[in-house]
């Protein structure tokens, strides 16, 4: 037991024991000494709030903070109020960080996550002590270690903040005794309240220390975990919002157009600066650039420049500073190779000041309109001037120019043909069309048309990007992610399997092969998997309605979609405006119309204007849609193929009839492999596969099946079987592709697909398309394979890299490989920091069982009286 030094000191004094007298109250004495004057009773109280009080507390705190800020600015704040300013600063700083990073992020989700991150960090700071310390301590020890109180001045403070100053009087005896009972403190000890208070204080000190030691570990981890968990619901919310916004754009297009006047404003600025100035090439380019700002195409800008040139060309010229610069530069360049002495060049070629003086003050040509005839006259005058300067130079120079040099100078500079003559070039460089009121009107009219077009296209682009853009957060990206996730769920891959294959695409292909075979060998499982997959894949037609947007290839509907019709309407309106242009005298708007809509007189007609600006809008989304659909239809087709082979019914594998068993096995293997790992590039190069150059043609048996899985007799059994190509065997590839895409679908597959009419129709068309385009002899540039070209009715069908890319889609093993990598990374992170968080929480809670250990004082000996009382 610890010795109380003060007590031991008193004991050493040998004082006589002090006998406490009975209390005698003497009113006169009390009044005389004013001992009745005691401090006023405090107004402080313990805060006993629950979650429902949170809003009121938040409002109260906010009001307090505002007052504190006000007092601090005036320099009148107290310590408590100043302390609040630190919290305020932290929040302001946090908001500044989130705000800055918000502007750096590209997508709504990543932008929103910046603020979620900030919120979760502050939430973690507040939640960790509650979850890991306050609640466990309450359950273990029976009181709130994070108790707060309001002092007499109305300031909210943590009760156990300063262990040397604890306002115990705020706890009633009943409350303290109740806590003591919960702690198991015996009732019959001396100074029970003091003992309980000491115990509470000890526990609070220990808890506060533990808080300081654990918060640093816990807050970032907890914050990151909260963010991780919030991503999914936030994604769903943003996705729903985006879909609604997209529908609104398409169905209420006019309302969705944000009528900005950026182009008009900028063009007007430029016009006002250059009013009645010569319309030079440079100015024309500036105007075109401003008029086409946002179209993001140099071709469009060039087209506008071309049309404006035609519109404004009046075939008169002006000599200005630029002309003088060109004349001087051209002259000096011409003389450089002929005259060695730089001083001679300086003397022969006038500087810009002198030349300006010559054209302006001496001749009066500067900045005035000159016809071509006048320019010729000026050119001749200048030639004479130069000849005179040459003559004068030779008279005075120490080293005069030779006759030959003078002749060369005359040839190359003065009398050179007009198109190569630097002087003539300079004189005719700047056309003299001024930006008069009429020209300004025309330019403003075209600018207005382009401005309106830009505004409408911006709305269309927003729709296009949100639906099918190549970005992380679009309708199609969400659909892709969800479908891949469903597919992986169907494959039932474990975390361990994903970890094993994440670094090796070939291993993924093998894993997929096994999974497909496993699924195909079990009818029930096959039906479950395909049903689930079909249900998910079919969602594309709900998310992106075929009437709104379609690929026009797999979809049977030939009617223009809403989006296409809208794009046509936008561009037609623009073309019509330009056709009806007033003040239109010189040239026409052919270049602009051709660039935007297409060539020819039928520019107003929406059909067949490949390569125009308009087509980019239409084609882009069709290609995106087709590529995504092909990727998932390929999975369905591969599963159907595996199941058809597993069933073993001849009617589903007619392509293999009459083939030797060995070739059948090779064809089945290649077909299964192509369904999983065939890449677009494969169709450009080769199809090396494991084949026997001289198969056993005598054996024409069917492939043996065991429990729905193929049992090969030949494939991979021969030592010399390698991945090879047999050029003369042109039919093998066709048989392989027929087996995959031309055979009838399995009844089971059809039954699952039929309820999804749109999907079913598209899927059949997809199979037809793939076989037609790349399952035929045209797939590959190998002359020997084109043996039956003469008999092929589809000869001449075009096949290009884009078509192959869109019909093949993404290789399934690549999709799964990417998913495995990403999932592994996320899981690894979660495992690492989730475990850290869990262990930390466990240790923090566990440690609290050992807190507050104190030696309990001995109970007061029980006398017969007390026994009787009890």
Partner 1 sequence: MILPVSSNLNQKTDFSAEKSDEKKQKYNHDTLLQNNFSTRFRIGMDKFTNAITLYPAKGLKGNRNANFYEFLTMGQVPYLIGSGMLMAVFNGARHFFSPDAQKAAAPLGKKMALGVIFYGLAKEFSKNLVTSPVHWITGVDTNLPYAKVNYELPDDIYDTDITSIEYHKVFESVEFPRWDLLYMDSSSGKPRNTYFDKVAKKLGLGTNLKDSDQEVKPRIKEIVVKTNLAQNLSSYLWAATGVALAFQKPWEEFFNVATLKFWKPKEFGKSLSIFAKSLERSLYNFYKGDGSKYSKYTGKAMIFTSLAASMLGVLNVMSSSLKPSKLDSGDIIEKERKYVVN
- Contact status, residue 562 vs residue 613, Cβ threshold 8 Å: no
- Contact status, residue 786 vs residue 794, Cβ threshold 8 Å: no
- Contact status, residue 207 vs residue 132, Cβ threshold 8 Å: no
Q: What are phi and psi of 81, to 5 degrees?
A: -65, -40
Residue whose CB is less far from partner 1, 161 or 718: 161
- Contact status, residue 527 vs residue 748, Cβ threshold 8 Å: yes
Q: Is the dihedral of CA 620, 621, 625, 631 positive or negative?
A: positive
Give the Cα separation of 189 and 184 in Å (integer): 12
Residue whose CB is less far from partner 1, 207 or 677: 207
**Rg of the Cα atoms in the chain:** 44
Give the Cα separation of 589 and 439 in Å (integer): 15
Q: Which residue, 810, 765, 413, is CA-closest to 631?
A: 810
Q: What is the smallest separation between the CB atom of 100 and partner 1, expressed in angstroms?
A: 4
Q: What is the smallest separation between the CB atom of 837 and partner 1, expressed in angstroms?
A: 11
β-bridge mates for residue 709, sequence order:
706
Residue whose CB is less far from partner 1, 77 or 529: 77
β-bridge mates for residue 158, sequence order:
148
Residue whose CB is less far from partner 1, 220 or 400: 220
DSSP result, 664-699: HHHHHHHHHHHHHH--TTHHHH---EEE-SS--SS-
Token readout for 538 is: 């079919």
- Long-range Cβ pairs for the range 766-770 (8 Å, 24+): 766/554, 766/629, 766/630, 766/633, 766/637, 766/807, 767/633, 767/637, 767/741, 767/742, 768/741, 769/553, 769/554, 769/807, 770/630, 770/737, 770/741, 770/807, 770/808
Q: What is the smallest separation between the CB atom of 283 and partner 1, expressed in angstroms?
A: 26
Spatial neighbors of 426 by CB under 8 A, at least 6 apart, are 323, 324, 325, 326, 327, 330
Give the Cα separation of 301 and 386 in Å (integer): 40
Please work out, in degrees rounded to the nearest 5, the angle formed at the alpha carbon of residue 744 by the alpha carbons of 739 and 746. Answer: 100
Q: What is the smallest separation between the CB atom of 576 and partner 1, expressed in angstroms?
A: 33
Q: What is the smallest separation between the CB atom of 861 and partner 1, expressed in angstroms?
A: 27
Residue whose CB is less far from partner 1, 122 or 756: 122
- Contact status, residue 544 vs residue 533, Cβ threshold 8 Å: no
Q: What is the smallest separation between the CB atom of 821 and partner 1, expressed in angstroms?
A: 6
β-bridge mates for residue 329, sequence order:
none
Spatial neighbors of 685 by CB under 8 A, at least 6 apart, are 780
Residue whose CB is less far from partner 1, 158 or 372: 158
Q: What is the smallest separation between the CB atom of 507 and partner 1, expressed in angstroms?
A: 13
Residue whose CB is less far from partner 1, 2 or 41: 2
Residue whose CB is less far from partner 1, 12 or 698: 12
Residue whose CB is less far from partner 1, 161 or 276: 161
Please work out, in degrees rounded to the nearest 5, the angle formed at the alpha carbon of residue 498 by the alpha carbons of 495 and 501. Answer: 150
Q: What is the smallest separation between the CB atom of 121 and partner 1, expressed in angstroms?
A: 9
Q: What is the smallest separation between the CB atom of 248 and partner 1, expressed in angstroms?
A: 23
Q: What is the smallest separation between the CB atom of 70 and partner 1, expressed in angstroms?
A: 11
Q: Which CA distances in Å does 22 have to 25, 35, 140, 273?
A: 10, 18, 43, 105
Residue whose CB is less far from partner 1, 167 or 587: 167
Residue whose CB is less far from partner 1, 111 or 642: 111
Place of tokens 């997508």: 107
Helix (H, G, I), strand (E, B) or coil at 254: helix
Q: What is the smallest separation between the CB atom of 214 and partner 1, expressed in angstroms?
A: 8
CB atoms within 10 A of CB 805: 17
* H-only helix segments in 13-78: 27-33, 54-73
Residue whose CB is less far from partner 1, 79 or 353: 79
Q: What is the smallest separation between the CB atom of 104 and partner 1, expressed in angstroms?
A: 7
Residue whose CB is less far from partner 1, 502 or 661: 502
- Contact status, residue 434 vs residue 276, Cβ threshold 8 Å: yes
Residue whose CB is less far from partner 1, 94 or 167: 94
Residue whose CB is less far from partner 1, 258 or 418: 258
Q: What is the smallest separation between the CB atom of 455 and partner 1, expressed in angstroms?
A: 18
Burial class (CB in 10 A: 0-12, 13-18, 19+), 314: middle
DSSP result, 766-809: HHHHHHHHHSSGGGS--GGGGTTGGG-TTTT----HHHHHHHH-
Residue whose CB is less far from partner 1, 397 or 507: 507
Give the Cα separation of 622 and 82 in Å (integer): 61
Site residues for partner 1 per CB under 8 A? 2-3, 5-6, 9, 12-14, 69, 71-79, 82, 85-86, 88-90, 92-94, 96-97, 100-101, 103-104, 161-165, 198, 201-203, 205-206, 208-210, 212-213, 215-217, 219-221, 224, 502-503, 821-822, 824-825, 828-829, 832-833, 851-852
Q: What is the smallest separation between the CB atom of 192 and partner 1, expressed in angstroms?
A: 18
Q: What is the smallest separation between the CB atom of 25 and partner 1, expressed in angstroms?
A: 31
Query: Could you tell me the maximum CA-CA distance found in the chain, to the nearest angstrom?
Result: 147
Residue whose CB is less far from partner 1, 7 or 863: 7
Q: What is the smallest separation between the CB atom of 185 and partner 1, expressed in angstroms?
A: 16
Burial class (CB in 10 A: 0-12, 13-18, 19+), 790: exposed
Give the Cα separation of 66 and 84 in Å (integer): 10
Token readout for 204 is: 């609070």
Please work out, in degrees rounded to the nearest 5, the angle formed at the alpha carbon of residue 864 by the alpha carbons of 859 and 869. Answer: 80
| CA contacts within 13 A on the Cβ side of 185 | 28
DSSP character for 710?
A: E
Residue whose CB is less far from partner 1, 80 or 444: 80
Q: What is the smallest separation between the CB atom of 92 and partner 1, expressed in angstroms?
A: 6
């Amino acid at each position: 037991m610890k010795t109380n030094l003060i007590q031991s000191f008193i004991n050493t004094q040998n004082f006589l024991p002090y006998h406490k007298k009975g209390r005698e109250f003497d009113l006169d004495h009390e009044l005389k000494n004013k001992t009745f004057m005691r401090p006023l009773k405090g107004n402080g109280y313990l805060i006993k709030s629950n979650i429902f009080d949170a809003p009121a507390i938040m409002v109260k705190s906010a009001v307090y903070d505002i007052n504190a800020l006000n007092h601090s600015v005036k320099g009148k704040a107290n310590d408590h109020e100043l302390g609040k300013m630190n919290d305020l600063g932290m929040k302001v700083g946090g908001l500044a960080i989130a705000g800055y990073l918000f502007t750096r992020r590209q997508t709504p989700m990543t932008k929103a996550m910046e603020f979620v991150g900030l919120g979760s960090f502050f939430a973690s700071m507040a939640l960790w002590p509650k979850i890991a310390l306050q609640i466990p301590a309450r359950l273990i020890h029976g009181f709130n270690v994070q108790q707060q109180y309001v002092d007499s001045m109305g300031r909210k403070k943590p009760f156990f903040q300063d262990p040397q100053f604890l306002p115990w009087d705020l706890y009633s005896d009943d409350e303290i005794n109740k806590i003591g009972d919960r702690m198991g403190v015996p009732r019959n000890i001396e100074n029970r309240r003091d003992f309980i208070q000491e115990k509470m204080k000890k526990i609070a000190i220990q808890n506060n220390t533990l808080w300081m030691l654990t918060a640093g570990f816990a807050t970032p981890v907890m914050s990151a975990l909260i963010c991780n968990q919030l991503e999914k619901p936030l994604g769903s919310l943003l996705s729903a919002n985006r879909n609604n916004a997209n529908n609104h754009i398409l169905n209420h297009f006019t309302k969705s157009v944000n009528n900005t006047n950026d182009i008009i404003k900028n063009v007007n600025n430029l016009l006002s600066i250059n009013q009645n100035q010569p319309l030079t090439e440079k100015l024309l380019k500036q105007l075109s650039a401003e008029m086409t700002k946002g179209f993001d195409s140099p071709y469009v800008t060039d087209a506008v420049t071309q049309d404006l040139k035609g519109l404004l060309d009046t075939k008169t010229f002006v000599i200005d500073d630029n002309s003088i610069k060109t004349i001087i530069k051209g002259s000096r360049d011409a003389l450089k190779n002929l005259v060695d002495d730089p001083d001679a060049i300086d003397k022969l070629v006038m500087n810009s000041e002198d030349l300006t003086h010559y054209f302006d003050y001496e001749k009066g040509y500067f900045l005035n309109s000159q016809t071509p005839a006048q320019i010729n006259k000026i050119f001749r005058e200048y030639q004479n001037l130069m000849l005179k300067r040459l003559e004068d130079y030779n008279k005075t120079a120490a080293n005069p120019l030779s006759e030959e040099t003078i002749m060369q100078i005359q040839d190359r500079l003065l009398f050179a043909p007009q198109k190569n003559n630097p002087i003539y070039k300079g004189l005719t460089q700047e056309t003299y069309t001024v930006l008069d009121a009429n020209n300004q009107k025309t330019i403003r009219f075209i600018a207005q048309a382009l401005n309106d077009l830009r505004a409408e296209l911006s709305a269309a682009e927003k729709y296009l990007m949100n639906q099918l853009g190549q970005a992380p957060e679009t309708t199609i990206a969400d659909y892709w992610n969800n479908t891949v996730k469903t597919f992986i769920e169907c494959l039932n891959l474990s975390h361990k399997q994903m970890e094993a294959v994440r670094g090796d695409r070939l291993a993924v292909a093998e894993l997929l092969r096994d999974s497909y075979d496993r699924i195909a060998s079990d009818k029930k499982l096959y039906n479950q998997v395909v049903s689930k997959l079909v249900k998910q894949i079919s969602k594309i037609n709900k998310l992106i309605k075929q009437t709104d947007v379609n690929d026009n290839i797999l979809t049977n509907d030939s009617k223009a979609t809403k989006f296409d019709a809208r794009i046509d309407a936008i561009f037609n309106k623009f073309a019509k405006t330009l056709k009806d242009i007033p003040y239109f005298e010189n040239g026409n708007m052919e270049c602009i119309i051709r660039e935007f809509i297409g060539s020819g007189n039928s520019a107003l007609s929406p059909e067949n204007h490949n390569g125009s600006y308009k087509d980019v809008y239409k084609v882009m989304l069709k290609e995106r849609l087709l590529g995504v659909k092909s990727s998932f239809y390929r999975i369905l087709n591969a599963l159907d193929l595996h199941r058809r082979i597993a069933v073993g019914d001849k009617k589903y594998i007619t392509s293999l009839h009459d083939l030797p068993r060995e070739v059948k096995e090779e064809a089945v293997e290649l077909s299964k492999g192509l369904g999983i790992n065939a890449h677009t590039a494969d169709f450009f190069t080769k199809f090396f596969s494991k084949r026997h150059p001289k198969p056993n043609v005598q054996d024409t048996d069917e492939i043996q099946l065991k429990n729905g899985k193929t049992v090969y007799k030949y494939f991979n059994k021969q030592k010399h079987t390698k991945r090879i190509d047999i050029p003369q065997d042109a039919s093998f590839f066709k048989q392989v592709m027929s087996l995959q895409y031309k055979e009838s679908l399995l009844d089971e597959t059809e039954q699952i697909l039929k309820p999804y009419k749109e999907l079913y129709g598209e899927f059949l068309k997809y199979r037809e398309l793939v076989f037609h385009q790349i399952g035929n002899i045209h797939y590959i540039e190998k002359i020997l394979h084109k043996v039956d070209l003469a008999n092929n009715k589809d000869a001449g069908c075009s096949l290009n890299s884009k078509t192959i890319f869109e019909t093949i889609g993404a290789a399934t093993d690549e999709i799964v490989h990417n998913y495995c990598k990403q999932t592994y990374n996320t899981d690894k992170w979660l495992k690492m920091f989730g475990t850290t968080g869990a262990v930390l929480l466990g240790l923090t809670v566990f440690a609290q069982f050992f807190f507050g250990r104190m030696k309990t004082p001995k109970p007061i000996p029980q006398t017969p009286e007390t026994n009787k009382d009890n």
